[in-house]
A and B are shown apart, each in its own frame.
Chain A
């Protein structure tokens, strides 16, 4: 039995269920004038059918040679969580605190805590990268980057 496929199948079935449920609320129209709910409904139905087929196939399929480990004991999975979290935090803080502050903080975090560099290397790297990125994107490429509450 292939546990990875079973997990994928369950996620697919769940998503299909939600899509079908929400699609019936939207006007489906008729066959000779399909409405906005027509395609998402049938996409959901097909997804559910495929997820069901995947489940049935997973009974007979051998497991993958690497067992299912979303968080393997020896992997650096905590780095994944911290990195993803830092990106989300960056997204929320960007327009409030501004590009320069957020970028410097993010680079410092990534270099030091995840990249495991020495503190002075991380600090120098974060300052340098922030300065170059600001110069390149804001001044040269004229990309509008938020100044934030610090107005820098």
Chain B
């Protein structure tokens, strides 16, 4: 069923379009998959649902492929997940080995992407069956665990990440209460009765905010590696040095991708640390070690595939991209989660199978088109940023033909810029906006079921497990802090 959907000519076309656009935005620093998916989401309204989701999914994992190109050639990551590739990829390019770096990156991404899709195919149905047994207390606990994991894995401070999650929850409360119909925080503004849209916020924070930061810093001046790229094929030694990193990166990336807050970024950093740890000559890392490119690139693609597991089986997005995918599914009248497999198996299997096709298309596209991507990189930023802003403006307006969405986007663009200034991450806020209604619904239903007792969250096994894990993650930093202070006091003595 999946292949019949994925190989339908229309879906093949949208898959191709998605991976092509994804690679392009992965190549371009300054715009990422979140902003692009949010911009293109309204364009999918006129498409059949499965075609729209296939295209949006293609943009996501395509961006993981494209991000490595700028990392290797320009030493600027096209994507957050490709930051680590800069360390060794650019050094390889400086030594005249840009071709093999790009080649191993493409092949490693393909192998890892295919592995991730196969694992998704095997794991998703049994997980969906387990998910059907989960009730409101389990969903509440799972979302709390998700927030805690996200905060624990955040790049910056855990406290700040949790603060942003609270802000997102509060934003999710704006509008009509879905149970009582009571207006919350609308202050008489009719447009606010429907709440603040996810898409304008995402476009603002990630699209406009990024542009504003770039405008302030340097107007995006960059030096592009100019030497001719002669061959893209890695030699035998390159394959020998890359095989185990690709295998390790694929497995690590996929399982990290399942975790909320996990995904491509964490996977790539972790893979780099692991490869350095396992390397016979760790001093080569940072000087052009091909394992430092192969492992992280495999991990980030596998992580992108793993991200789909919690969304498709539990209806819980693991990161902002998945949050937008969830929004896309809902807008198209589909319910992400365990019922998606039961009620819309064509969508479920069609999307998963399209990822096999998409990975193959990416391998075929990436190698010959590298010359074109290099030319795209040479488009000066002063010409690029107005286009990015324009796409954001049109994208936000087209959601509901309402200028209010444009104003929200612009406002959150400024907020996104300021958040970066005071070192707060926006991802927890966005995730909380998406999960807030689910969390509130689950909480209220659970308390009604239990007659107002919170014991329901500790007496049910799955709920207790999730809450227990969340508690451990919250307490761990406290233990570390106490241990650190005790050591400091002993040192002073």
Contacts and interface: CB of A to CB of B under 8 A. Distances in A.
Interface stretch (B7-15, B305-313, B378-386): B378-386
Given A40-B170, A137-B398, A94 B403 contact: yes
Contact of B421 (A70, A84, A115): A70
A84 B443 contact: no
- Identify whether the interface residues of A are mostly helix, strand, loop, or mixed: helix
Interface in A100-144: 103, 106-107, 110-111, 114-117, 125, 129, 133, 137, 141-144
A44 B216 contact: no
Interface size class of B (residues with CB under 8 A): 35 or more
A152 interface: no
Contacts of A32: 447-448, 450-452
Contacts of A79: 215-216, 219
Contacts of A57: 157, 159
Contacts, number: 186
Interface stretch (B115-123, B263-271, B342-350, B410-418): B410-418
Interface string B428-449: 0000000010011001100110
Contact of A39 (B42, B173, B413, B453): B173
Nearest to A114: B215
Nearest to B182: A36
Contact of B422 (A7, A50, A125, A141): A7
B166 A64 contact: no
A84 B414 contact: yes
Given A51-B163, A64-B423, A125 B390 contact: no
A130 B55 CA distance: 26
Contact of A117 (B43, B159, B382): B382
Contacts of A80: 212, 215-216, 417
A53 to B, nearest CB: 5
A22 B451 contact: no
B177 A36 contact: yes
Given A8-B423, A26-B182, A88-B410, A34 B46 contact: no
B191 interface: no
Contact of A137 (B162, B208, B394, B411): B394
B416 to A, nearest CB: 11
Interface in B326-344: none
Contacts of B421: 4, 68, 70
B387 A54 contact: no
B84 interface: no
Contacts of B285: none
B170 A83 contact: no
A7 B421 CA distance: 11
B296 to A, nearest CB: 26
A75 B216 contact: yes
Nearest to B421: A70
B112 interface: no
B369 interface: no
B76 interface: no
A44 B167 CA distance: 8
A110 B219 CA distance: 12
A27 B182 contact: yes
A24 interface: no
B398 A35 contact: no
Given A53-B159, A83-B211, A144-B398, A107 B43 contact: no
Contacts of B252: none
A50 B424 CA distance: 13
A145 B397 contact: yes
A40 B383 CA distance: 43
Contacts of A1: none
B173 A4 contact: no
A141 B39 CA distance: 13
Contacts of B42: 143
A94 B397 contact: yes
Contacts of B469: none
Given A64-B423, A115-B385, A133 B443 contact: no
B212 A33 contact: no
A19 interface: yes
Contacts of B451: 32
B185 interface: yes
B113 to A, nearest CB: 29
Given A40-B184, A43-B166, A79-B215, A87 B413 contact: yes
B4 interface: no
Interface string B153-192: 0000101101100110110010001011010110000000
Contacts of A51: 163
25 contacts: A8-B163, A8-B424, A27-B182, A32-B448, A33-B448, A36-B184, A39-B436, A40-B169, A40-B184, A44-B170, A46-B162, A76-B216, A83-B211, A84-B414, A87-B208, A87-B410, A90-B393, A90-B410, A91-B403, A92-B407, A110-B385, A114-B215, A116-B219, A117-B383, A143-B42
Given A50-B162, A146-B401, 19 more contacts: A5-B160, A8-B422, A8-B423, A8-B424, A19-B170, A31-B453, A32-B447, A33-B452, A40-B184, A43-B169, A43-B173, A50-B163, A75-B216, A75-B217, A76-B217, A84-B212, A115-B219, A143-B43, A145-B398
Interface of A: 4-5, 7-8, 11-12, 15-16, 19, 22, 26-27, 30-40, 43-44, 46-47, 50-51, 53-54, 57, 64, 68, 70, 72, 75-77, 79-80, 83-84, 87-88, 90-92, 94-95, 103, 106-107, 110-111, 114-117, 125, 129, 133, 137, 141-146
Q: What 6 pairs across the A-B complex have the smallest Cβ distances?
A: A32-B452, A31-B452, A115-B382, A36-B177, A91-B406, A87-B410
